[in-house]
Amino acid sequence: GTTNLVYTFTRTGITTNALTVNYGITGTADSTDYTGATPGTGKTITFAANSATATLTIDPTADTTIEANETVALTLATGTGYLIGTTTAVTGTITNDDTSITLAVAPSSVTEDGTTNLVYTFTRTGITTNALTVNYGITGTADSTDYTGATPGTGKTITFAANSATATLTIDPTADTTI
C-alpha cells in the first residue's frame, strides 16, 4: 500500500546494550494481506545498542478481493532483560479500498410519449485506472415493449471506461395506445 502501519517499540532505562523483545501478531488480517511480518507468536524485534526505539513496518498488500477492513494487532510477550510496559494489544487497521458502486436515476419518472428519458447513472468510488464491468438486473412492472435501451431480466452488464467514475444507461419510454 501507499501508507504503511509502523509499530514503534520503545524502551526506557539503560539502552547501552542491544535488546531482543518478544511479541506476537494477531488480528483479522492474514499473511496475504501484508508484508513485513507474519501472524503468530514467537516473533522478536531487536533494539540496537544505544537506541531507545525499534520499528516494525507492515506494508498492506493491494488486492481486488471484496472484504471488510482488517486489523493487525501486536502484543508484547515476556522475555529476558525487560518488563512489559504495554499489556494490551496495539492494533492498526488496513482500510478496505475496494471499489464500491452506487446507482441513481434522474429523473425518477417520465411520460411514455415524452421526450425525456430515464438516465441511470452508475458511479464507482476507489481506483478508476482500469475499465470495470458491473453486473445488474432490470425489474419492475414495465416490460420490453414499454421501453428501449435495455431489456428486463438479470445478467446485464455495464462497463466503466478506464479513468471514468461513471457509466450511464438510458431507458427511452415507448409511446403506445394501451390504457
| pTM, entire model | 0.66
pLDDT (tens digit per residue) in 62-118 = 887 778 899 999 999 999 999 999 999 999 999 987 788 999 999 999 988 778 999
pLDDT (tens digit per residue) in 33-43 = 999 999 999 99
Q: Comparing C-alpha atoms, which of 121, 160, 127, 153 is closest to residue 138?
A: 153
- CA–CA separation, 87 and 45 (whole Å): 17
Contact 74, 56 (CB under 8 A): yes
- CA–CA separation, 63 and 51 (whole Å): 36
